[in-house]
Amino acid sequence: MTSTQAVPSLGGSRLAAISNHVVRVVSEYTGRGPTKARSYVNENIVTVVLQDTLTKGERSLVDDGFDDLVLTMRKAYQGTMRDDLIAGIEEILDRKVTAFLSDNHVAPDVGVEVFLLAPIDHPSAG
């Protein structure tokens, strides 16, 4: 299930599309997507907060003290997913992504995907 944080300049349907896109890509790469996602957009930054991200196997590894291994594996997934995540955000927002940052935390089980967008050129007044 996904939800969105409304932003006056960005319709809720596009925020939902961002959340759904990230959940879908994570699921395609890891075999299981997060159960909650919330997207926030503020000028040139898109942040997607994911909850309940770990697979059953990853949770088992965390329970056995292998947090660092799980985080290293997640970092590898994030690098592999990068191009697909960026392409979807650029398509949904019709804006160029200039940087992508991603991280996970195991307790609590949360992740973030952050996309920095190229500034929108505004014509000068006068």
pTM of this structure: 0.86
Binned at pLDDT 50, 70 and 90, residue 86 comes out as: very high
CATH number at residue 22: 3.30.980
**Would residue 47 count as lying in a domain?**
yes
Task: Specify if 123 maps to a domain.
Answer: no
pLDDT-derived band of residue 7, with 50, 70 and 90 as boundaries?
very low
The predicted structure's pLDDT at residue 116: 98
- Between residues 122 and 56, the one the model is more confident about: 56
The phi-psi region of residue 31 (left if phi > 0; otherwise alpha if psi is between -120 and 50; otherwise beta) is: left
Q: How far is CA 56 from CA 31, 33, 63, 103, in A?
A: 10, 11, 11, 19
Q: Per the domain annotation, does 126 fall within a domain?
A: no
Whether 51 is in a domain gets the answer yes
Split into its structural domains, the chain has a count of 1
Q: Residue 125 domain-assigned?
A: no
Residues 119-123: what's their mean pLDDT? 73
**Any domain includes 124:** no
Q: Which range of residues forms the domain containing residue 86?
A: 3-117
Is 122 part of a structural domain of the chain?
A: no
Helix, strand, coil shares, percent, the chain, to 5: 45, 30, 30
Let me know if residue 67 belongs to a domain. Answer: yes
